[in-house]
């Protein structure tokens, strides 16, 4: 006997169609003679259309500069024909505020949807059934399931135990009775909590600053090394500071923290300590990029794009081989001819 395969495709929200004058997130699928056919990402990729006249308030000189296949962006809903399934959309009528609101809502909904779908696939459940009994009730009660998921991270029972479902059973007398049971089984509940905690627990932010540091005095390398140590001492247990040589005279200061503002504050103090130390030895420090939050990918790309990148070296790993490069822009006219002391 063949078993029915659970359906893992479902819209994000309880409503099957968006409301008129609502901003929705779409992905462009095809460009035709009259306009562009798109998928509404929050509504299980149902089809909509943007007429060319709704692309821009200005005269269109190049359609390809305004809309491209594969692009994901917010647009405004103009008309919804639920009987025929037609949805007309506009790119030119959506405001900046509506774009920001739509993007924020979509990013939250996408994370919720990813968690819900993973639980459905893992537990072999129908995704829409999981939404009916858990996801959409959370949207109704908390405004957005994302807000409920944040509470579930620390106190799951207070959020999930209040949801129930009705099932039909045949009683001892042969009569069908309605029974109220928890909205999901213990196993599904544990899987949902586990995935929510894994995906929504705050991850440390990486804060980075780029500086140039030079010192032309005798033993300039030692002065630079001392300044690097002063920078690292400015860190604390919550925001430890590391400073590394990338390519002379470029250095990078980094810290990891859950509090972005604190991380930026600590790096600014580290730069200040480093500046005071190197300037006391008649050196110079220039901030090339102020402290800011970067992703691991951005950090990697920044390092790759540095001029003449070398292996990173921190203040405690400075070897004698790097001493000449640590001095900054030194006149190498004599050494170029092979003259040495």
**pLDDT tens for residues 228-271?**
999 999 999 889 999 999 888 999 999 998 888 999 999 999 99
- pLDDT for the residue numbered 324: 40
Residue 311 scores a pLDDT above 90: no
Indicate whether 117 pLDDT > 50. Answer: yes
Q: What is the per-residue pLDDT for 306?
A: 60
| Domains, the chain, with CATH or none | 23-58+67-92 (2.40.50.140), 102-200 (1.10.150.190), 205-326 (3.30.70.1130)
Lowest mean pLDDT among 99-103, 248-252, 329-333: 329-333
Mean per-residue pLDDT, 322-340 = 38
Alpha helices in the chain (DSSP H): 96-123, 127-130, 136-142, 145-154, 156-160, 186-200, 220-233, 260-279, 296-304, 323-326, 333-336
Banded model confidence at residue 176, pLDDT cuts 50, 70, 90: confident
pLDDT of residue 231: 96
Average per-residue pLDDT in the chain? Answer: 86
Q: Output the pTM of the full model.
A: 0.63
Radius of gyration of the chain (CA): 29
Q: Could you give the CA distance from residue 242 to residue 226 in angstroms, rounded to a whole number?
A: 13
pLDDT of residue 59: 75
Residue 330 confidence (pLDDT): 37
């Amino acid at each position: 006997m063949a078993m029915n395969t659970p359906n893992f495709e479902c819209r994000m929200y309880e409503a099957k169609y968006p409301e008129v004058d609502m901003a929705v997130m779409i992905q462009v699928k095809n460009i035709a003679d009259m306009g562009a056919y798109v998928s509404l990402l929050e509504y299980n990729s149902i089809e909509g259309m943007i007429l060319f006249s709704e692309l821009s308030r200005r005269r269109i000189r190049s359609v390809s500069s305004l809309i491209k296949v594969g692009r994901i962006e917010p647009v405004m809903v103009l008309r919804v024909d639920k009987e025929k399934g037609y949805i007309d959309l506009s790119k030119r009528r959506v405001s900046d505020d509506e774009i920001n609101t739509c993007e924020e809502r979509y990013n939250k909904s996408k994370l919720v949807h990813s968690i819900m779908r993973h639980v459905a696939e893992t537990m072999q459940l129908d995704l829409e059934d999981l939404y009916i009994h858990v996801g959409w009730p959370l949207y109704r009660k908390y405004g957005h399931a994302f807000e409920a998921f944040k509470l579930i991270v620390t106190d799951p029972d207070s959020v999930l135990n209040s949801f129930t479902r009705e099932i039909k059973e045949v009683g001892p007398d042969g009569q069908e009775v309605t029974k109220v049971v928890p909205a999901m089984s213990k196993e599904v509940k544990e899987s949902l909590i586990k995935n929510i905690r894994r995906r929504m627990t705050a991850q440390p932010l990486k804060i980075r600053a780029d500086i140039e540091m030079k010192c032309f005095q005798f033993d300039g390398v030692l002065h630079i090394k001392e300044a690097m140590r002063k920078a690292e001492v400015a860190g604390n247990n919550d925001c430890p500071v590391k400073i590394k040589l990338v390519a002379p005279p470029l250095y990078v200061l980094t810290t990891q923290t859950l509090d972005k503002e604190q991380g930026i504050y600590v790096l600014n103090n580290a730069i200040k300590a480093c500046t005071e130390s190197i300037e006391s030895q008649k050196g110079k420090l220039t901030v090339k990029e102020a402290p800011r939050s970067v992703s691991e990918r951005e950090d990697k790309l920044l390092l790759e794009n540095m001029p003449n990148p070398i292996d990173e070296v921190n203040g405690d790993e400075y070897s004698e081989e790097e001493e000449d490069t640590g001095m900054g822009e030194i006149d190498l006219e004599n050494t170029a001819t092979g003259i040495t002391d």
